[in-house]
Amino acid sequence: MIVRSIEERAQGKRYLTVTEVSDYLQLSVETIYMYARTGVIPATKIGKHWRFSLDRLEEWMTRQASADEEATGIRVLLVEPDLQIAEAFKTWFSESGCEVYVVASREQAFPLLSEKNFDLVMLDLMDPRLGGLSTLEQIHEMKPRAEIVVAASRFDAELMDRALDIGPLTVLRRPIAKEDVQRLASAHKQMTERRTAETERPVDQDRTPERVVPTSERGVSKDRQSASERLLQ
């Protein structure tokens, strides 16, 4: 919980600036701006300036602490420069019971990836604004257990095969409907539950354990199909 100084309590200060919130939360000013723009943190924009209610910040911090301790759903990071598309994806994932964070660039994504664990990361590998293969490689290094979902309206087969050399992917072709997002969230939840059940099941020494196949690898032969042949409709 945010601790107010005696002087601030005496002054009855109710709203903070970006710099003051940065000092309170021990986060960079850039991160606070990103959190405010994407709705991660409660904020109000007045003209060109952001203001933060001290009471709402304290409530938000309390909820964050409780969520980190009790979260059982899927935590999703959407890296999407188009605000309208990002809002649609966020709404659909949220309706599927996911905890959703939205950023507009790789520069905004990496601080969040450093601070939180994510089950699923969704981005457009073909969008040059997002850094392509270098971004994908860094995400895999930071969160090797996260499922990476590539959503794009066009695909370069050679680029996608190079991406598969970095790690497994789930590929979705745009336009993406609400039902596609729901199926994706449901499949990931089922995979997670199956992994948990396999972990908790007593080991039969005479039985070879069954491998849990991630959604991103389903339908891929040992010879590995090309990415263009693996697009999910």
133-162 mean pLDDT = 88
Dig out the tokens for 78 from the structure: 């959407």
Q: Tell me how far apart the alpha carbons of residues 152 and 175 are, in angstroms, rounded to a whole number.
A: 8
Dig out the tokens for 13 from the structure: 């200060």
Model pTM above 0.95: no
Specify the higher pLDDT residue, 155 or 49: 49
Which of 37-51, 128-142, 185-199, 211-225 is the least confident region? 211-225
pLDDT tens readout for residues 70-124: 445 789 999 998 877 888 888 889 888 888 899 988 888 998 898 888 999 999 8
N- to C-terminal Cα separation, the chain = 45
> What is the side-by-side order of every strand in the sheet holding 49-53?
15-16, 49-53, 44-46
Burial of residue 99 (number of CB atoms within 10 Å: 0-12, 13-18, 19+)? middle
Q: pLDDT band at residue 13, thresholds of 50, 70 and 90?
A: low
Q: Tell me how far apart the alpha carbons of residues 77 and 114 are, in angstroms, rounded to a whole number.
A: 12
pLDDT of 193 > 90? The answer is: no
pLDDT of 48 > 60? The answer is: yes
What's residue 205's pLDDT?
53
168-190 mean pLDDT = 88
